[in-house]
A and B are shown apart, each in its own frame.
Chain A
């Protein structure tokens, strides 16, 4: 009797394991890349359909009163892609991309553009250096 129980248990476990791997497998292809942006403040991170990152569609973060309009911009890339985004601000600020350690000044009422290869994997942020306010979350997938 015990052997039968063991066998049934074994089959159940293997079946459960296969089911798990199967749904995992189908999910794997849904990893998005390119510049999909969502407002992190909403708490719901359903990504909008990403537009191809052509020169006309560079994501732009608008900073007003020391805050990014629409919340922290989430930008997702695959390693090796080109990271491009613009920041326009109503006040003079220094923009700091962490990890990559890039700094650029933006004048009051002006716009500054970042354009660099996504060579570091992981999650990094860009912030208004003076205020310590995060404006962008960069996700670089392998």
Chain B
């Protein structure tokens, strides 16, 4: 019985583990950078204000106006609809069907990667938001007033989205692991189920309210979008200082859970064939020897380890928060916990890049060649004449992939440290106390970054 990561069902290639010398260099650079971060930090916050500059009014009007909103929304709805159609009607081979690559690679990885640079790109294309808004507009036109919504329980915050994120990754890598590969039909059914659930929640709590707190993809992609350089304010496009919008992201309860869930699920997927393999195998054998069906035993084992990852990442973060509490003048534990959650967003992004960048790069070649020309994988269509193209695995050398992986982790570490230092200056205006508090966050970040490096370096043999 094999423990297989997400990439396995779709791609024919896996990354080689990062060699020991590069691991050592990466870890060394992390330690040195961290030390200088402590010694050479600035004394007034730099990212706590957005430093926005509005872009041209004409550009804003044309890009944000109603016609474009309708167009982008319609594109989102059509693509989701087509992916579901391909999943239901196309081949059951995961790698030959448009559905799984589009949903789990192009969207699931593409939106975080590009949003982290350009700002939240998912919001305009969000198919459920588009449908919800269209229905709302229709309702207003007929009834003459907006639909009444239940008040969203504020204490729930982003917990529904955090739990939803774990559920989505569970579907990808736990349900679809071992001999039972997630097939396109199951993917389509999941997408349909999620659509019904989301539209129902939007009807109950309101479209924007649910997108802000409960809708998994809005919250997840939007989280990475906070790192990006474009945003909207007062109906205008704004160019803002990179990372600065992240500082206001975690003001809603459950945000910390969201970013922790992101790091944890990526860790689990990345460690399945490497760091966690022996542990997974022994627990699996224990269940199997206890008379459990192998598939059920595999899923139960994976589920336990995924939840353990969540608990482990949460524990490290909370220990750091508790440590900061010991610095004189510290705000309450809860305030600290929510106040530093956004500093983990760059780390979560670094984990995603480190584990999925090459997979994304290669699989997008499939997406834009044969999966576009022959989306159902039935061999009967060749819309763009690229149905027989293949993936060029020479396009990235193993060395390039290693440097990107390690470079991403180091960059994420540095950005996380910068944001944490900045936030500490808000809570402890006294520069020395702020620095003292940051010994703790530093330890947290070194732990995550070195763990990330470790996951990459463990041979997945």
Contacts and interface: CB of A to CB of B under 8 A. Distances in A.
Nearest to A46: B461
A24 B20 contact: yes
B41 to A, nearest CB: 12
12 contacts: A9-B38, A16-B31, A20-B24, A20-B27, A24-B25, A45-B461, A99-B13, A99-B393, A120-B13, A120-B394, A121-B397, A125-B12
B28 A21 contact: yes
B25 A141 contact: no
Interface of A: 6, 9-10, 13-14, 16-18, 20-25, 27-28, 30-31, 38, 40, 43, 45, 74, 79, 98-99, 101, 119-125, 134, 137, 139-142
A49 B321 CA distance: 49
Contacts of B16: 121-123, 139-141
A38 to B, nearest CB: 7
A23 B24 contact: yes
A120 B277 CA distance: 26
B310 interface: no
A22 B159 CA distance: 45
A72 to B, nearest CB: 8
A80 to B, nearest CB: 12
A141 B19 CA distance: 10
A13 B32 contact: yes
B24 A25 contact: yes
B209 interface: no
A17 B16 CA distance: 24
A122 to B, nearest CB: 5
Contacts of B35: 9-10, 13
Given A21-B25, A43-B281, A122 B398 contact: yes
A interface secondary structure, majority: mixed
B39 A24 contact: no
Interface string B55-89: 00000000000000000000000000000000000
A101 to B, nearest CB: 6
Contacts of B328: none
B83 to A, nearest CB: 24
Interface in B15-65: 15-16, 19-25, 27-29, 31-32, 34-35, 38-39
B20 A28 contact: yes
A124 B31 contact: no
B24 A21 contact: yes
Contacts of A6: 39
Given A43-B278, A123-B15, 20 more contacts: A6-B39, A10-B35, A10-B39, A13-B31, A21-B21, A21-B28, A23-B20, A24-B21, A24-B24, A24-B25, A27-B24, A30-B20, A31-B19, A43-B281, A101-B390, A120-B393, A121-B16, A124-B12, A139-B16, A141-B398
Contacts of A24: 20-25
The 10 closest A-B pairs by CB, nearest first: A24-B24, A98-B12, A27-B20, A17-B28, A45-B461, A121-B398, A28-B21, A123-B14, A142-B398, A120-B393
A25 B21 contact: yes
Given A21-B28, A24-B24, A121-B398, A74 B461 contact: yes
A6 B281 CA distance: 45
A101 B393 CA distance: 11
B15 A43 contact: no
Contacts of A142: 397-399
Contacts of A45: 459, 461
A20 B450 CA distance: 12
B13 A122 contact: yes
Contact of A123 (B23, B29, B39, B460): B460
Nearest to B282: A43
Contacts of A141: 16, 398
A43 B21 contact: no
B28 A20 contact: yes
Nearest to B1: A41
A33 B398 CA distance: 15
A124 B39 contact: no
A136 B272 CA distance: 19
A43 B460 CA distance: 10
Nearest to A137: B461
Contacts of A10: 35, 39
